[in-house]
Amino acid sequence: MAEFKQKHIIALRDLSKEEIELLLSTAESMREVNSRDIKKVPTLRGKTIINLFYEASTRTRTSFEIAGKRLSADTVNITTSSSSTTKGETLADTALNLLAMKPDIIVMRHAVSGSHYFLADKVNCSIINAGDGAHEHPSQGLLDMLTMKDHFGRLDGLKVAIVGDITHSRVARSNIQGLTKLGSSVFVAGPPTMMPPCVEKLGNVTVCANMKEAIQDADVVMMLRIQQERQGKTLMPNTREYSRYFGLNPLNVKLAKPNAIVMHPGPINRGVEMSSYVVDGEQSWILKQVENGVAVRMSMLYHVCGGEVTI
């Protein structure tokens, strides 16, 4: 059995194939807790987790909080709009002040790529990345992989199409890192203005000339949100044209394999990257992704705390 030796989880790039597999198999065990009447185990009793979110979040923040509570940890949420960040306090000062209260884990979302490495250098508790700029979103990558594994029973040999704003997507980066380590082939498509240079060098990644090439015979079609808050300037003529060339609809979804699943990390711009027909259709596993988010985050919290207690 693999051991999890990481103190922090900042990027799937930093984890071995075995460590990712261990996080996924522990998440599978954690799911049993989530289906009980009383959804609580004493695994992290006495541990303190601070959720520090410098950017908006619905799914990630809520599920990290639920995950901590289901493991009996004490969880505290800080949103920067109501914290002393609004008075000009720096990230380092905020972290050092929070550290004085002796947390065991800080879960942080921050707009600056790499800010978690900066923080990990300054503190003695574990750091979990809940999304940093356009760099990585490891818990999303893990819950996406768990969802694919649920449907196909494996990740090895899958064709996964990722379509949209690849440049600004931390979700795409974490999925590429994790999926290619576990044997999937990733095909990316998007407007040239949203395709980072050298993305194919990240592993078994093929850059496609158009969306059709990416989703043809795919096992998984993962659509990405247009990251207008990160683009800085307009990278597409308008959303209607974007939707025409890179939107998933009832016609082009048929290019994927008949048993393919459709995924999206959320929040969705309905009618832009996906039609409502597909979002709410039979092939959509979007809410299953959200459900898996709790189990995956329980697994991450458990393992950075040493993972020694029986679940």
- Report 45-104 residues binding ligand CP (CB under 6 A): 57-60
How far, in Å, CA of 23 to CA of 229, rounded?
Answer: 31
CB of 96 to ligand CP, least distance (A): 26
DSSP letter (8 states) at residue 126: E
Which tokens go with 213?
Answer: 């090439």
For ligand CP, the closer of residues 189 and 222 by Cβ is 222
* Binding window for ligand CP (CB under 6 A); candidates: 20-28, 204-212, 248-256, 264-272: 264-272
For ligand CP, the closer of residues 167 and 289 by Cβ is 289
CB-nearest residue to ligand CP: 60
For ligand CP, the closer of residues 43 and 75 by Cβ is 75
95-100 long-range contacts, Cβ below 8 Å, gap at least 24? Answer: 95/119, 95/122, 95/123, 96/122, 96/123, 98/50, 98/52, 99/123, 99/124, 99/125
List CB contacts of 143: < 8 A, sequence separation 6 or more: 27, 289, 292, 293, 295, 296, 297
CB of 241 to ligand CP, least distance (A): 25
How far, in Å, CA of 240 to CA of 20, rounded?
Answer: 38
CB of 236 to ligand CP, least distance (A): 21
Cβ neighbours of 237 (radius 10 Å): 9
174 binds ligand CP per the rule CB under 6 A: no
CB of 133 to ligand CP, least distance (A): 13
133 binds ligand CP per the rule CB under 6 A: no
Amino acid at 13: R
For ligand CP, the closer of residues 208 and 297 by Cβ is 297
169 binds ligand CP per the rule CB under 6 A: no
Beta bridge pairs of residue 109: 53
266 binds ligand CP per the rule CB under 6 A: yes
Pairing of β 185-189 and β 220-223? unpaired
CB of 126 to ligand CP, least distance (A): 20
For ligand CP, the closer of residues 266 and 271 by Cβ is 266
Residues that bind ligand CP (CB under 6 A): 57-60, 131, 140, 265-267
